[in-house]
Amino acid sequence: MKKMLAAVFAAALLLVSCGSSESGSEAGNASSAPESTVTSAAADESKEAETSTPADSEAPAAQGETAFAKHGKLSVNGADLVDANGAKFQLRGMSTHGIAWYPSYVCEETFTALRDDWNTNCVRLAMYTHENLGYCSNGDKNYIKGLVENGVELATQLGMYVIIDWHVLNENSPLVYMDEAVEFFDEMSKKYASYGNVLYEICNEPNKGASWDKVSEYANEVIPVIRANSPDSVIIVGTPTWSQDVDKALADPLEYDNLMYTLHFYAATHKDSLRKKMERCINEGLPVFVSEFGICDASGNGKVDIDQANEWKELIENYNVSYMCWNLSNKDEASAVIDSGCSKLSGWSDDELSEEGRWIKEWFTSETD
């Protein structure tokens, strides 16, 4: 893969590895989609995307009738995510693709369009750790961290919720970069301790040999660090087998408050058996968060399956499960919501969206809150 300079993102061809397989990886996002040539909409993005915000910054006050202004800081009550008034609440929004690959979408123009035109209330910032330009591999840590900080500040100014996602994928086990994760989440949770709109997703998709015991070992190192700085923030924990084995968390949950557990699906691959697993876990009291999904197959590519997507939609709505769609990019794959020929950062017509993009926008805009 050609290396992208951190200082200036000149137009480059990046070979991005993603995922596939039902019991294997997730889609072109978290799992490993087939290597593909990516024309980043961020091709000319420079380091001006990086935001300089003071450490331990104070959260701006939520303005107007934004989601955060109305609902405030979230918490977990039983199997439910609830708002500051104790009412059940559902987060909905887009997950970025890898922010180091598609940094130009981390901007006010795009986030405003997602809030106002797509009716979303949350953005997930996917920060890959292991892959090319990953935070723990050959990426520029300060630049990538600056993109995360910029995304948090923009979402906060717009009254949106924001998820900081430590995007474990091709390293398989979160234990591989546990020391780096502890340092990162210590810094982030100190910086955003006063930000009631920030959620922490500590390991995207443990997979292959990453058992629930290993995820728990990792979580028991990372969660106390976040809790020391932000005692009651919502923390989202990945589950084994590309975040499909929520039943393992149900059998042996972590002993902390305000935790949720991830279930990821790609509708053309993951069908009734995984839906039944999610439903059973929720009915038995496990707080489940669909922090990533697509309506194509688990590679992040291939044909979409609208019928299966609608089955998932019905289940998610029946249980008021929060959901984040993968992915906000113009990558040439089925799970990207923007057409690969479109470089716009907002104002996308239906013709400039993928089939998944049109479907998810229709779902978002049908929601009332």
Catalytic residues: 205, 292
Pairing, β 92-96 against β 288-294: unpaired
3-state helix, strand, coil in the chain (%, to 5): 35, 20, 50
> Could you give the angle at which helices 178-191 and 212-229 cross, rounded to 10 degrees?
30
Beta bridge partners of 95: 124, 326
Token look-up 């044909």 returns 303
Q: Are 221 and 195 spatial neighbours (Cβ–Cβ below 8 Å)?
A: no
Q: Are 353 and 334 spatial neighbours (Cβ–Cβ below 8 Å)?
A: no
Give one word for 21, left, alpha or beta, with left for phi > 0 and alpha for psi -120 to 50.
Answer: left
At residue 155, what is the residue type? A
Smallest Cα–Cα separation from 90: which of 206, 244, 336, 260? 260
d(CA 222, CA 199): 14
327: preceding bond cis by omega (within 30 degrees) = yes
d(CA 159, CA 118): 15
Helix (H) or strand (E) holding 111: helix 108-116
In sequence order, what DSSP letters do the residues of 201-247 get, joined into one string?
A: E--S---TT--HHHHHHHHHHHHHHHHHHSTT--EEE--HHHHT-HH
Smallest Cα–Cα separation from 121: which of 149, 93, 151? 93
